[in-house]
Amino acid sequence: MILVVGAKGMLGRDLMTVLPGEHRGVDLEEIDITSPASVRTLLVTLKPRVVVNVAAYTDVDGCEANRDLAFAVNGDGVGHLARVSADIGAKLIQISTDYVFDGGKGSPYREDDPTGPLSVYGRSKLLGEENARLNPDHLIIRTQWLYGLHGKNFVETMLRLATDRTELSVVDDQIGSPTWTVDLANSIRALIDAECRGTYHAANAGFCSWNEFARAIFDESGMAVTVHPMTTTELNRPAPRPLYSTLDCGKLSRDTGFTPQGWREALRSYLSLRS
Ligand SMILES: NC(=O)c1ccc[n+]([C@@H]2O[C@H](COP(=O)([O-])OP(=O)(O)OC[C@H]3O[C@@H](n4cnc5c(N)ncnc54)[C@H](OP(=O)(O)O)[C@@H]3O)[C@@H](O)[C@H]2O)c1
């Protein structure tokens, strides 16, 4: 049985629809990953063969103000899952982030590039990666810029803002790959089917700035909104972000035969489903 921890989150909901065979989802009512006892009780009772952890404290700016919670959930919580999954002979799959990189490389990040997180969120997720490796049978999947039908995300924010505005300013100096949670869920499935281990990158193909992404959202939705450029410095969010954090996903394609579609095609698929 495949156990999805964090099954009520944005990625978790789509993953539950994509996974093959026997699988079960749990979220905070059934497991608190910050509690070693909670983790042990549930995993020993359910005896999954694979544990996919998509639970996390994902509010990047919130992590700056709530450092202890960030490390407890994103770092220590993964350690509890790693220890118990190893004890029961299960594989641990941990979802991680491009925010473990500093964004200074200037070309797509490969799995073995040096990390250098800038934010509390990034540092806590990097601790999660280190802790996932406590289970020798682990798979770490780094992804980025997620949006999906079942969570707060950039696409929904843009469409909501455009209901009463015809002009917006969006940062144009952060570059990455917007990634639809359904395509990420299919990447996770492909990595499970191919019995991959170690670290992989998975994101929709191609890259853009948040500003270009916003313009694509309005173009594809047939909305006349002018999107002005602004800088990350001008936006002045609490957590620093990597400026260039595109992920090289060649290893995913080579080892599974699965290549996620381009980000713009994925956006079209998403918009067609929500209308
Ligand atoms: N969103 C992105 O852009 C993005 C980018 C890169 C990587 N990721 C990674 O992708 C994964 C999925 O992200 P997502 O956006 O789908 O997250 P999400 O929507 O925030 O879902 C996370 C789920 O985990 C649950 N949770 C929080 N604390 C928990 C705990 N202590 N024990 C058990 N469950 C707990 C949350 O419950 P509550 O809602 O009740 O708190 C929620 O249901 C995460 O690992 C995230 O770090 C996300």
Ligand 1 near 27 CB (within 6 A): yes
Examine residue 269 and state whether it is found in any structural domain, yes or no. Answer: no
**What is the identity of the amino acid at 244?**
Y
| pLDDT tens, position by position, 169-216 | 999 999 999 999 999 999 999 999 999 999 999 999 999 999 999 999
Q: Is 82 domain-assigned?
A: yes
Cβ within 8 Å of residue 85, ≥6 positions away = 43, 48, 51, 91, 92, 135, 137
- Over the stretch 223-257, which tens digit does the pLDDT of each residue have? 999 999 999 999 999 999 999 999 999 999 999 99
What is the spatial distance between Cα 123 and Cα 136, in angstroms, rounded to a whole number?
A: 22
Reply yes or no on whether the pLDDT at 20 is more than 90.
Answer: no
pTM: 0.97
Quote the distance between the C-alpha of residue 114 and its chain's center. Answer: 19
Asked if pLDDT for residue 275 goes beyond 80, the answer is no
**Identified catalytic residue from 121, 147, 200, 270:** 121
90-117 burial: b if 16+ Cβ within 10 Å, else e: bbbbbbbbbbbbbbebeebbebeeebeb
Q: Candidates 3, 4, 8, 11: which one to mutate for ligand 1, based on the most atoms within 8 Å of Cβ?
A: 11
Is 151's C-beta closer than 6 angstroms to any atom of ligand 1?
yes
Asked, for residue 241, whether it belongs to a domain, the answer is: no
Q: Please check whether residue 24 lies inside any domain of the structure.
A: yes
* Nearest-atom index, ligand 1, CA of 125: 47
Instruction: Assess if residue 73 is contained within a domain.
Output: yes
Give per-residue pLDDT as tens, 29-81.
999 999 999 999 999 999 999 999 999 999 999 999 999 999 999 999 999 99
Please tell me the distance from the alpha carbon of residue 34 to that of residue 209, in angstroms, as a whole number. Answer: 35
Q: Nearest 5°: phi and psi at 152? A: -65, 135
The verdict on residue 94 lying in a domain is yes
Is 109 tagged catalytic?
A: no
**Helix residue ranges, H only, 32-153:** 36-46, 60-65, 67-70, 77-87, 120-132
Nearest CA to ligand 1 atom 5: 144
Q: Read off the pLDDT of residues 144-169 as tens digits, 9 standing for 90 and up.
A: 999 999 999 999 999 999 999 999 99
Mean of the per-residue pLDDT values for the chain?
A: 97
Q: How many domains does the chain contain in total?
A: 1
Query: Where residue 29 sits, what CATH number does that domain have?
Result: 3.40.50.720
Q: Which domain holds residue 186?
A: 2-153+178-205+247-262
| 92 within some domain | yes
For residue 193, report the distance from its CA to the centre of ligand 1, in Å.
Answer: 23
158, part of any domain: no
